[in-house]
Structure 1
Amino acid sequence: MTTKICVYPGTFDPVHLGHLDIVERALNIFEAVVVAIAENPKKKPFFSLEERVKMFQDAVSKYKGRVIVEGFSGLLVNFMKRYNTKIIIRGVRLFTDFEYELQIAMTNYKLDKVETFFMMPQQELIHISSSIVKDVALHGGDVSNMVTPYVKSMLEEKVRKI
């Protein structure tokens, strides 16, 4: 039997509980999930690529080898060749997410016949986005119901330095 691997790409700045819900749900379908964290300097990330990788690795450590977390730059379809897969998982929350994600999915298909599967997080998590998490943290709000304790501590440390 071949191992079925999917890639879950994103900026994950920072990883939140909605992202982790998508990983867990993908593991119900696939044997392994590769979390591909995009460098993406255009977005001017709050956290460095290394910090984002470390936060996601901490958050998925309980999956013991079924989740690989790696940073990358360049085209996602090129990154995916390392894992010999043509399957992407993307989380979508709202119709506006889907419209953008559909354009990306169609481009990846045209580039290398990559299939994209869209998944929605649990209803309790559908409102969470990395932007909202950062905004709440920057204004002194409690993000403990949106992120893991480690990510919360990283956010608090980053906010203290601003």
Structure 2
Amino acid sequence: MRALYPGSFDPVTPGHHDVLRRAALLFDEVVVCVMLNPSKAGRFPVEERLDRLREAATGLAGVAVDSHTGGLLVDYCRGKGIDVVIRGVRDGHDLDHEVPMALMNHELAGIETVFIAADPERAHISSTLVTEVGRRGRIKPAG
């Protein structure tokens, strides 16, 4: 079974890597895909995000890296023969945001969403937090 792990990955964090690693154990193939959100200005170029995802996928069997710039997530899934979306969730706020999208993806295309709970040691890490700390010269985004 093929699954899609979509996100902006701007930047890739240790939490993203953990969800990808765990998803790779559950599915035959996981496509981790940089999805461009027109309502968000990217902090890192798409190619850099793809390079960091390729690095994060090193040693993980059945993981492919891709990007999608236009159309809905369900359109990408239909075109690639993917029936499952993976979403990492850190807390109830993430679920509040993710569940309506999961329901809409199911309504539009019958796509199921599998939620993977964040590792408690990484649940506080967000791309925004990593970027802000990195701007202040303390850390570099994970790759």
TM-score bin, normalised by smaller chain: over 0.9
Counterpart pick for 2:95 among 95, 98, 109: 98
How far residue 35 of structure 1 moved from its aligned partner, in angstroms, is 0.6
The residue correspondences of 1:132-143 to structure 2 (distance < 5 A) are 132-143=129-140
- Corresponding letter in the other structure for 1:70: D
Q: Does 1:23 align with 2:20?
A: yes
- State percent identity of aligned pairs: 36
| Aligned residue number for residue 58 of structure 1 | 55
Q: Within 2, Cα distance between the matches of 1:137 and 1:21?
A: 20
* Residue 76 of structure 1, CA deviation: 0.6
Please identify the structure whose Cα radius of gyration is greater.
Answer: 1
TM-score, normalised to structure 2, is 0.93
What does the per-residue CA deviation read over 1:43-91, in whole Å, with 9 as the maximum and x for residues that have no partner? 1010111211111112212225x11111102211111123312100100
The reply on whether 1:70 has 2:59 as its aligned counterpart is no
Give the alignment of 1:1-162 within 5 angstroms: 4-64=1-61, 66-73=62-69, 74-143=71-140, 147-148=141-142, 151=143
The structure that is helix-richer by fraction is 1
Residue 131 of structure 1, CA deviation: 0.4
SS at match of 2:5: strand
- The structure whose RCO (Cα within 8 Å, separation 6+) is larger is 2
Distance 2:91 2:131 in 1: 19
Residue identity in the other structure for 1:138:
R
How far apart, in 1, do the equivalents of 2:24 and 2:53 lie? 15
Q: CA RMSD in A?
A: 1.3
**SS state of the match for residue 138, structure 2?**
coil
Structure 1 residue runs of 4+, over 2 Å off? none
What 5-or-longer segments of structure 1 have no aligned partner?
152-162
For structure 2, the 5+ residue unaligned runs are: none
